[in-house]
Amino acid sequence: MISYFSNELTTIRQISDLRFGVPILLGHKNSYEIIVAIETLNMETFQKILKYSNSSNLEPYLAITKNRASFLKARVYDENNARIKIPTPISFDWIKSTADPAKDFDYPLKGPYFSIREGNSNISEVAIHFCKKAQLLPSVLIIPINSTDLSQLKKSGLIYQKISKNFEIKTIAENLSLISTGRVPIPGGLNSKVSVFRDLNSLTEHYAIEIGVLDLSQPILTRLHSACFTGDILHSLKCDCGEQLSATINKIQLEKSGVILYLNQEGRGIGLANKMRAYKLQDSGLDTFEANHRLGFNDDERDLSIGSRILKKLGINQIKLLTNNPSKISALENSGIKVIKRLPLLSKETKENKSYIKSKKEKSGHFFL
């Protein structure tokens, strides 16, 4: 994960603006650029901001992730992303189709793509990261502007932020605050309470569910569970998330105490809308990781260090972890939580989840023993 430090309020507002289709302004050294998320870009905004490329005499370009670029067979010269030249005349539909995999079949002959090698990629790197934080498709339209246009656009209300070589966005885990705690009776007779933690960067909330009386002198039975609307609420057969959550509650009740950290990182951190896009791609034959890549995401976009920060706020430093995911073990241990023991969560393999479980086992090293 990118570890950037910035004016937090400005960052929050810029991420929110991208989500609503409002352009933002980023600067680096003597370069200034208009940024707009392609997913939320509409024709009216497109026509307005395109006028500024004429006054700056600098060509607009797209920034996409290396995973999306790989599918489009575009060269990647930057570390994580590719900056793509826009062919003339500039087409709104071409820009949209480059970013959105749903349009790959409607516009199958979009290429060839020509990537930008020269220049600095700092702004595009930050812009893509902001898109991911907004849970949008990670693709942006970037229009370089001059200082005169920058002043005019700032006066019009667009938010500007200057970045530097050391520009950082604080990780979520560094900005968690406990908001409230309340008793929540659950089946099984054990006392339980829910504590709500809020990420002050994105205002996302995560929940700690304490069941029974915790003995902090002993390792606490713990589960890091990422929100899964389809599995936890709808009991979808496509994944094993709902089954794992139910099994966790049963195991904690048998042991008389434990903690479930329910983290709002749907779809391994890409959000529910992008998860549904990935499901549609999976219906065409891609596995869960291939679908993420085609959308422009990594295998896993979650910040698992959130779990360690919450555990520490609860006074928990050693745990018995209910998981099949080795990444969760390493993330917690690297953040100062001692994982005394790993306990498996075995799920029934069905016709519907067979491919999903197979992909997790073969591509991300999940244990199923």
Tell me the per-residue pLDDT of 243-261, one tens digit each, with 9 for 90 and over. Answer: 999 999 999 999 999 999 9
Position 24 in a domain: yes
Active-site residue, 300 included: yes
Which of 143, 169, 195 is the last residue before a domain boundary? Answer: 169
Q: Which of 68, 83, 294, 302 is catalytic?
A: 302
Q: Answer yes or no: do 56 and 106 share one domain.
A: yes
Q: Which of 300, 303, 309, 342 is catalytic?
A: 300
Is 368 domain-assigned?
A: no
pLDDT for position 5: 43
Residue 337 makes CB contacts below 8 A (sequence gap 6+) with: 307, 308, 311, 312, 316, 317, 318, 319
- Is 106 contained in some domain? yes
pTM (2 decimals)? 0.90
Residue 108 pLDDT exceeds 90: no
* Residue 297 in domain: no
* Exposed e or buried b per residue across 211-225, where buried means at least 16 C-beta atoms within 10 angstroms of its C-beta: bbebeeeebbbbbbb
Asked if pLDDT for residue 328 goes beyond 90, the answer is: yes
Those residues whose C-beta lies under 8 Å from the C-beta of residue 233, and which sit 6 or more positions away, are 242
Residue 109 confidence class, pLDDT cut points 50, 70, 90: low
In a domain, 154, yes or no: yes
**pLDDT score for 245:** 96
Q: What is the pLDDT of residue 272?
A: 97
pLDDT at position 2: 43
The reply to whether 184 and 248 lie within a common domain is: yes
Mapping DSSP to helix (H, G, I), strand (E, B) and coil, where does residue 139 land? Answer: strand
Average confidence (pLDDT) over 59-65: 97
108 and 179 part of one domain: no
Number of domains in the chain: 2
196 and 315 within one domain: yes
pLDDT band at 107 (very low <50, low <70, confident <90, very high): confident
Residue 79 and residue 227 share a domain:
no
**Containing domain of residue 85, as a range?**
4-169
- Supply angle C-alpha 339, 344, 348, rounded to 5: 160
